[in-house]
Chain A
């Protein structure tokens, strides 16, 4: 009856694997082919455009914003998750926070941009309040529509995402080691320094990587917030694809490949770090 077993495997698992292959794996790999193909066949010209000053600036901006927002999101999200899991927190409050996080983690684009323009824009509520007490943040050089603004705005979806992904790891930590450490007379600081952080570090690292990717691929939010005036890779790709500047699929593919390469590099870095921080664990 081996063939019947095989047939069942194909019927149950086949559609999913085919779907993922056709619409996820092949399109991603296809980008690498398109990036070296122009109307005249093989060409390195599209890849060469990556080294133009404009695109290099876009990559540098994207990476800078993503690193900063991943750091902010990881730290604040971990603290938020820790506070949410604190023993005194009532059940309904936990449900309120976890569902809010699920919605806020997907809050992006124009709605998010508008929310912050009305808060921290030139005429925003906070900007106005601060001005009333004599602090003019725009005169001091702050702008919601530049890098520092993006980091503040991205945190609105980065912190909730962090809270969602780190909660299981924190739950695992809380139950077992905290009591043991306290029983042995460890202070809070000693617990974190010698138990909490080392145990959590791999989870924190992988979450930070996820947050980096999330910020790196953000498109709707910077598009709505800066109207495309701050060069980022995602904005460049959409300009190239929808023909705002020039219609060039190969250049778009080259930029997209660049993004995938950056993500791959971050994952390799993560792999190396994860191996280092995981070394103390007894296998």
Chain B
């Protein structure tokens, strides 16, 4: 059975290698880091990257603020709502993103401070990340003895907000990190909403640069892939150490 690794690993490695080769190609001047150097000196690239990074952080915060209390309370007091929570959390996988764009843009046409800025994207992004954030939080909380934790915190006089921030969140740190990283990979790569709503995010920028410079697009794609992967790997290995 072990030989099956070869085609699988080859299938996944080759496109990345080919991208790397393309990103180093300089036409008649052979191979070099020209594309990378040009990119570093392109303000539009930094603007789009910063926008996507900001959206990712906002999406993580908004998603957790909405979901942590809800999933916590559902697990502790309202287990009969679980089927409904499960259903809602798989809906974003069932309703195609492009249909959701159509639905959201038709209903929410204003006010301008909401739909006119890129921050509007945080709303669909929270929805897109919902299946993964919900699952991570739910698995994390099921592994905890919520009842005992809550009672202990309350008998020490903790209010609900401080109970969530000081007791629940530290106990959920690996689950939260996992959810946050998945959210980052989703937001950095998200193209559908940003392209249709005409916001210049990182994925939209890569698309745009791809039409003028294939080598720069390849360089950016490769960097984005390797950076997210190493970040996730760091958390996976670091989190395991911390858990021990």
Decide if A and B are genuine partners.
yes
Please report A residues at the B interface, Cβ cutoff 8 Å.
5, 8-9, 11-13, 15-17, 19-20, 23-28, 30-31, 34, 76, 79-80, 82-83, 86, 92, 95-96, 98-100, 102-104, 106-116, 118-119, 124-126, 155-156, 159, 210, 213-214, 216-217, 219-220, 223-224, 234, 237-238, 241-242, 249, 252-253, 256-257, 259-260, 263-264, 267
- Contact: A92 with B237, CB < 8 Å? yes
Is the CB–CB distance between A110 and B88 below 8 Å?
no
B: residues with CB less than 8 A from A are 1-2, 4-5, 8, 11-12, 14-19, 21-22, 65-67, 69-70, 72-74, 77-78, 81, 88, 91-107, 123-124, 126-127, 130, 160, 181-182, 185-186, 189, 191-192, 195-196, 203, 206-207, 210, 214, 217-218, 220-221, 224-225, 228-229, 232-233, 236-237, 240
16 pairs from A and B in contact (CB 8 Å cutoff) = A9-B73, A13-B74, A16-B66, A16-B67, A24-B91, A28-B95, A31-B103, A34-B102, A102-B185, A104-B12, A106-B189, A114-B214, A124-B18, A253-B103, A256-B96, A260-B99
A210/B93 contact (C-beta < 8 A), A27-B104, A103-B185, A109-B207 known: yes
Closest to A240 in B: B102
Report if A241-B105 is in contact (Cβ < 8 Å); known contacts: A16-B70, A83-B4.
Answer: yes
Asked if A125 and B126 sit within 8 Å, CB to CB, the answer is: no
B103 touches A13 (CB 8 A): no
Does B181 contact A115, Cβ atoms closer than 8 Å?
A: no
Q: Are A110 and B207 in contact (CB under 8 A)?
A: yes
Whether the pair B15, A116 counts as a contact (CB closer than 8 A) is yes
Q: How far is the CA of A112 from the CA of B225 in the complex (A)?
A: 10
Q: Which residue on chain A has the smallest CB distance to residue B227?
A: A103
The reply to whether B98 and A238 form a contact with Cβ atoms under 8 Å apart is yes
Q: Within the complex, what minimum Cβ distance (angstroms) separates A213 from chain B?
A: 6
What CA separation (Å) do A223 and B1 show in the bound complex?
Answer: 37
Q: Known: A104-B12, A220-B191. Is A12-B70 also a contact (CB below 8 A)?
A: yes
- Report the Cα distance A24→B88, complex, angstroms: 8
Pairwise interchain contact A83-B5, C-beta atoms closer than 8 A: yes
Q: For A241, what are the chain B residues with a Cβ–Cβ distance below 8 Å?
A: 101-102, 105, 196
Q: How far is the CB of A58 from chain B (nearest CB, A)?
A: 12
A28 touches B93 (CB 8 A): no
- Expressed in whole angstroms, the Cα–Cα distance for A217 and B193 within the complex equals 13
| A110–B206 touching, CB < 8 Å | yes
Residues of B with C-beta under 8 A to A13: 69-70, 73-74, 78, 81
On whether the beta carbons of B237 and A155 are closer than 8 Å, the reply is no
Chain B neighbourhood of A23, CB < 8 A:
104, 123-124, 126-127
- The CA-CA distance from A109 to B203 in the complex, in Å, is 8
List of A residues within 8 angstroms of B16 by Cβ:
115
What is the chain A residue whose CB lies nearest that of B91? Answer: A24
A154, chain B: closest CB distance, angstroms: 12
CA distance A267 to B95 in the complex (A): 12
Q: Which of A23, A79, A242 has the most CB of B within 10 A?
A: A23
